[in-house]
Amino acid sequence: MLGTIVNSIAIIVGGTIGTLLKVGIPDRFKNIVMQGVALSVAIIGISSGLQFNNLMLVIMSLVIGGVIGEALDIEGYLNRLGDTLQRKLSKDNGSTISKGFVTASLVYCVGAMAIVGSLKEGLSGDHSILFAKSVLDGISSIIFASTFGVGVIFSAISVFLYQGFITVGASFLQGLLIKPVIDDMTAVGGILIFAISLNMLEIKSIKVGNLLPSIFIPIFYQLILNLIR
Share of the chain above pLDDT 90, in %: 28
Higher-confidence residue of 125 and 16: namely: 16
Amino acid 143: pLDDT: 83
Phi-psi region at 126: left, alpha or beta (left = phi > 0; alpha = psi -120 to 50): beta
Instruction: Please tell me the pTM assigned to this model.
Output: 0.79
pLDDT tens-digit profile of 101-158?
Answer: 888 888 888 777 788 788 888 887 888 889 989 988 888 898 888 888 888 999 999 9
The domain spans of the chain are 2-228
Amino acid 68: pLDDT: 95
User: pLDDT grade, residue 66 (50/70/90)?
Assistant: very high
pLDDT tens-digit profile of 185-226?
Answer: 889 988 988 988 898 888 888 888 899 899 889 999 998 988
Amino acid 17: pLDDT: 92
Pseudo-torsion of CA 132, 161, 168, 12, nearest 10°? 30
Amino acid 184: pLDDT: 92
Average per-residue pLDDT for the chain? 86
- Looking at residues 25-46, what average pLDDT do you find? 81
Phi-psi region at 141: left, alpha or beta (left = phi > 0; alpha = psi -120 to 50): alpha
User: pLDDT grade, residue 89 (50/70/90)?
Assistant: low
- Rounded to whole angstroms, the Cα distance separating 36 from 223 reads 40
Amino acid 170: pLDDT: 82
CB-based burial, 12-24: b 16+ in 10 Å, e otherwise: bbbbbbbbeebee
